[in-house]
Chain A
């Protein structure tokens, strides 16, 4: 080993890593491709290779009023979660990474705890908690449950941006006589914008795709992931893969669009 020149040694292991990464990507995307194939095949119960193709399941998904209701529920929850969690997380991230105060290191760890906890059990605990407060379940409770988990995630995402931010710029603005609000609006917010933007994107997408927290908190109402699960377990129709494909596409488009906007801003 010692006699092998460094360049060669790196190239061999580099090739191995590239191959392995490709295999991992295949592992990640193979089942998603399977979902797309099932949504496009004509027969009710999936068989591969696909013999007859059809778009009828997409037509039935898009024309179903029932599914439109679930779509609205999901959208309302995700939108509210995004707005609220970003507002809370901007404050939280400044406390997390910008200011030095006694108790900060405990705060940093406390705030992260919900990320390190199984969501299904958290959902049940919140359900129990809400019944103790006489709050009935519904999409409002789901928003609350999502926030418990998503606020820490967004705080973390924005904090990474805050760490790269030089407090001297804020102080300079104060010295020049700017008010607190002016400094936030003209200095802090624009500098933190990339982090806030990715935090908002994360919040929306995580809420949009969440199943375990919604499952125990939405009560009689249903989100898209809940409907998909219910139909997988009983009364399967290829509407499941069709809607699954559509939601995956939406997530992908939002993610790519967000990335595209992010790079365009930087130029």
Chain B
């Protein structure tokens, strides 16, 4: 009993200043912590937690610190400054930020509409058909570069679409690449599974009885959709929307490969600042803005979710 109250005045003072009065035999704070830390759940959580702290939180905090260092410095041994953030707004970097947010929003909305019928079918009509699921999962495992390159081959002049139209109808469908709509299509393409699978999880949470009851009470198809299905599937829809939005916000490849740089994404500016320009603090300041935006959105949503309820399907 190291922390049991002793006769010395020191421990008396401590006893008075703190409301916890350790009695002999009752656990002190340290012992309570030791008991908590010995639980199998706590011990088992540690390895993954270490990866999180050392591989995710640490790097992001370092990036945020670098954002406050003078431009073109390569260490943290300078006085903090806001100059990089001023540069972001003076040198029109905010434009690429705005474009990224806009394209991410557009992609998210389009994907919600595209994925709903598939997610719905996946859990109701196709009865979680394994082959269909595999077909929809496979693209996740093919490097996005290869798939986007496939779109280049499809949309190229004399590519699949143009070539087919020329041979069959004598039409020319040229100059489809390197613009904003095709960039959005590339994003819709790459991030489709990230919307689809959470959404399907959400749809699978709608009890069939609720739909039947609503129909029996005379609700129209639209009313059932709006008042029963969407609210009940909402956790899944929100996770899908958030994943899509955040990942699109920080994407580079679509705008580079399909968009031909007709739009500069924020992640591209970040990459340029870190690599060619060798201006780590500026890249860090841009990243900090991205971290802030995604952090607010993700933590805002995750804190409201009940993960046990969502995943256990009981």
Select which of A21, A37, A259 is within 8 A of B117 by beta carbon: A21
Contact across chains for A88 and B48 when beta carbons are under 8 A apart: yes
CB contacts (< 8 Å) of B51 on chain A: these are 88, 147-148, 151
Contact across chains for B121 and A18 when beta carbons are under 8 A apart: yes
CB contacts (< 8 Å) of A193 on chain B: these are none
A71 to B141, CA, bound (A): 16
Stretch in contact with the other chain, from A52-60, A61-69, A243-251 = A243-251
Contact across chains for A247 and B142 when beta carbons are under 8 A apart: yes
List B158-195 residues whose CB lies under 8 Å from chain A: 158-160, 162-164, 167, 189, 192
If over half of B's interface residues share one DSSP class (helix, strand or loop), that class is named, otherwise mixed; here it is helix
- Asked if B130 is at the interface (CB within 8 A of a chain A CB), the reply is yes
Contact across chains for A17 and B121 when beta carbons are under 8 A apart: yes
Contact across chains for A129 and B162 when beta carbons are under 8 A apart: no
- Asked if B150 is at the interface (CB within 8 A of a chain A CB), the reply is yes
A255 to B150, CA, bound (A): 21
List A117-145 residues whose CB lies under 8 Å from chain B: 117-122, 124-129, 132, 144-145
CB contacts (< 8 Å) of B313 on chain A: these are 163
- Asked if A113 is at the interface (CB within 8 A of a chain B CB), the reply is yes
A210 to B144, CA, bound (A): 8
Contact across chains for B60 and A16 when beta carbons are under 8 A apart: no
A16 to B189, CA, bound (A): 21
Select which of A32, A96, A132, A147 is within 8 A of B147 by beta carbon: A32
- Seed contacts A46-B153, A99-B39, A225-B143; 20 additional CB < 8 Å A-B pairs: A16-B117, A17-B120, A21-B117, A21-B132, A34-B150, A35-B150, A37-B153, A48-B158, A95-B40, A121-B290, A125-B63, A126-B55, A127-B274, A132-B76, A206-B140, A206-B141, A208-B141, A211-B253, A244-B146, A244-B150
Interface residues of A (CB under 8 A from B): 1-2, 6, 9, 13-14, 16-18, 20-21, 24-25, 27-35, 37-38, 46-49, 87-89, 91-92, 94-105, 107-122, 124-129, 132, 144-145, 147-148, 151-152, 155-156, 159-160, 163-164, 205-206, 208-212, 224-225, 228-229, 232, 240-241, 244, 247-248, 251-252, 255-256, 259, 263
- Of all A-B residue pairs in the complex, the 9 with the closest CB atoms, nearest first, are A118-B250, A31-B150, A99-B41, A48-B163, A92-B48, A101-B41, A95-B45, A148-B55, A205-B141
What would 21 A/B residue contacts be, using CB atoms closer than 8 Å? A1-B220, A28-B139, A30-B160, A31-B189, A32-B142, A34-B153, A34-B154, A38-B153, A49-B163, A94-B44, A99-B39, A115-B243, A118-B249, A121-B250, A122-B59, A129-B59, A147-B51, A163-B311, A209-B140, A228-B145, A255-B137
